Structure 1
Amino acid sequence: MCGKIEIKFRRIDKLDKNFTQISNNVFYLLKGKSTAYMVYSYLNHRYNTNYNYAFPSIKTIQVDLGIGSNKTVVTAIELLEEKKLIKVIREKTSINKNAVNKYVVYYPVAINALTEEEERLAPDEFIEMMAI
């Protein structure tokens, strides 16, 4: 039996360090894809800055987000990869056993072409541009 959870709410202008920031451009890239948006937000939330990736299992994502099936999570991850919002690092611990995936998370900074100043930044600052 679950206990009752009390939640207190604050106005958005009172945000502190206990929140996850998502680029507004993600709304355009994932328009109508609510599960993918949930998974992307979750991976941002679980991102480990010491390792520079998130590494929850598919089952953990499914349970924590209340998603009905593993396939739904996998489909969302595939869409996030296609949209260049994440890079999945898949490894094996042995010949027959996969390790937990590692997720490098990217955020879209420009819907339109980059400015000259943005292009001069370090090469790894931006991954490829894509048309939506």
Structure 2
Amino acid sequence: MKKLVYILIALFLITGCQTSTTLEVSKRTGETEYKAFRTVSDAKQVKRALRIVESAKWEQMKAEMTRPADYQFSFPHPEAKAVLYECWVEGDSVLLTHADNMYATLSAQEAKKLLAILIEET
């Protein structure tokens, strides 16, 4: 039952971001420092990134990572607190985490699509 509650909360937080029109991306610049990297404002790219995150197979578990995330991103929403996602790039795969110990690994295809949106140079 507790797991179901966490999943419902996560879905509520993720779904609450659907009206967001931007994607804010920060890049790790030091051991624990992050700097604003880019803002994605193209509606198609924002929706595509949101779909990738929503369709990920999220599991509740405490992910013990050996280093800080490579990127952090969020879908700011004027009426709700933005969920901060952390992203680790490991070869062809991407690992994601967010609040409440939620963890997901993206397929190589989805990882490539998300990274193209997150780190594309403008």
> For this structure pair, what is the TM-score category when the shorter chain's length is used for normalisation?
under 0.3
Whose strand proportion is higher, 1 or 2?
Answer: 2
TM-score by length of 2: 0.26
TM-score by length of 1: 0.24
Whose helix proportion is higher, 1 or 2?
Answer: 1
Task: Flag the structure with larger Rg.
Answer: 1
